[in-house]
Amino acid sequence: MCCLVALLGLICPRVVLFLVWLFNPAFINAAYPNFLVPLLGFIFLPLTTLAYAWAFTFEGGAGSGAGVMVIIIAVLLDIGSWGGGAGSGAGKKAA
């Protein structure tokens, strides 16, 4: 079941973040001190928000080696998803 949630987190991280918060709020509340940071993460960097909560909860803190690598990869995937449509030809003029 955990692998299914992780796979869905890569496909639709906002849905998974909402479901994790709905069914296991202690997972998110343990990693973040207030509600504002996860809310902004839900809007701008959903995969990074999930990765930080996972690293904080399961890797013994976000400062561990594996936790840092997971967070860096999540940030790169989130930033890469912003520019995903740039190379597809959207907005280019037909010659």
Predicted confidence (pLDDT) at residue 57 exceeds the cutoff of 80: yes
Q: What's the total number of domains in the chain? A: 1
Q: What is the pLDDT of residue 52?
A: 92
Q: What is the pLDDT of residue 67?
A: 86
The verdict on residue 39 lying in a domain is yes
Torsion of CA 41, 47, 50, 53, to 10 degrees: -80
- Neighbouring residues of 64: CB distance < 8 A, sequence distance ≥ 6: 55
The verdict on residue 33 lying in a domain is yes
Domain that holds residue 72: 2-82
Predicted confidence (pLDDT) at residue 62 exceeds the cutoff of 90: no
